[in-house]
Amino acid sequence: MGSMAVNLAFLGVADIIYRKANLEHAAASPVNLMLAGLLIALLTLPLLAILTPTFTDWSIHPITPVIVTAYLFGLHLVHRTREKPMWFPRITRQTVSDEPETQQSGASIALWLGFIGMAVVTGVAGWILMEAATGIIEQTGLSETLVGGVFTALATSTPELVTTIAAIRIGALTLAVSNIFGTNCFNMLVVAAADAVYPHASIYHDMAPLQMVWGLVAILMTAILLLGMVRRETYGIGRIGFESALILGVYAVTLGVVAVIA
């Protein structure tokens, strides 16, 4: 949950880096709107699970397969939106459309192999990072909420920041924004997997309430970004959109609150 919140904050950082206009204005896309809506829907499901009774006779909570089904159906809607959009953003001088270049099959295979190889490296690094985080908790006495929601979240989200900045540098602005929303939607499958492998009744009921603060904050930040993508402010505070300034402020305040409470 903390990783999803920091990923959204990274969109504010990316907006600061992109100086030509508000990033959400330039990267206007119906796909990004769909991904933002899907993320809000997915984020509400674990929160609803917390409020439901504990199903002690079930190995997983009934909301877990709902998360998986909602994610797959959401991907279907996103695909249909990309293939047959029913809404088109108003094209301005600042709007940048992603136009993929045609690659030869050999180069495409090499890119896929490189992509898979880097994904494996990232996965192994994530495992090592989690072991290190556990050691920090044991040796320092810091709470799991603080270490997981802040330190581990920042570390594991660094690839998303790098990917987003790299996409901006090559002019793929829609990719830069959809990378964050798409990653967060996929992270909800990680939440479902965590419940599936949890040895007790339900992972949702054994989490500290403070840990779900990040889920609520992620919903708030996604909603703010969704408003910004619909409003499409060309320039705002410090030449970034109002949504970027707001989500950075929300994340900063949440960090302070979690640091004090945790």
- The per-residue pLDDT for range 125-155, each reduced to its tens digit, is 888 888 888 888 888 888 777 788 788 888 8
Rounded Cα distance, 170 and 185, in Å = 24
Q: Whole-angstrom distance between the N-terminal and C-terminal Cα of the chain?
A: 15
Q: Other C-beta atoms within 10 Å of 106: how many?
A: 8
Burial 148-157 (b: 16+ CB within 10 A, else e): bbbbbbbbbb
Please determine, for residue 123, whether its predicted confidence score (pLDDT) is greater than 70: yes
What is the per-residue pLDDT for 100?
Answer: 53
User: What pLDDT digit, counting tens, does each position of 162-184 carry?
Assistant: 999 999 998 888 889 999 999 99
User: What pLDDT digit, counting tens, does each position of 223-259 carry?
Assistant: 999 999 998 888 877 778 899 999 999 999 999 888 8
What is the per-residue pLDDT for 78?
Answer: 93
Of residues 46, 39, 75, the one with CA closest to residue 63:
46
**Residues 239/23, Cβ–Cβ less than 8 Å:** no
Please determine, for residue 7, whether its predicted confidence score (pLDDT) is greater than 90: yes
- Of the candidate ranges 34-38, 40-44, 234-238, the one whose mean pLDDT is the lowest: 234-238
Helix (H) or strand (E) holding 215: helix 213-231
pLDDT band at 206 (very low <50, low <70, confident <90, very high): confident
Q: Determine what percent of the chain is predicted with pLDDT higher than 70.
A: 94
**Residues 191/46, Cβ–Cβ less than 8 Å:** yes
Of residues 218, 244, 221, 219, the one with CA closest to residue 232:
244
- How many residues would you count in the chain? 262
Q: Determine what percent of the chain is predicted with pLDDT higher than 90.
A: 38
pLDDT band at 57 (very low <50, low <70, confident <90, very high): low
Enter the pTM of the model.
Answer: 0.86
What is the per-residue pLDDT for 56?
Answer: 55
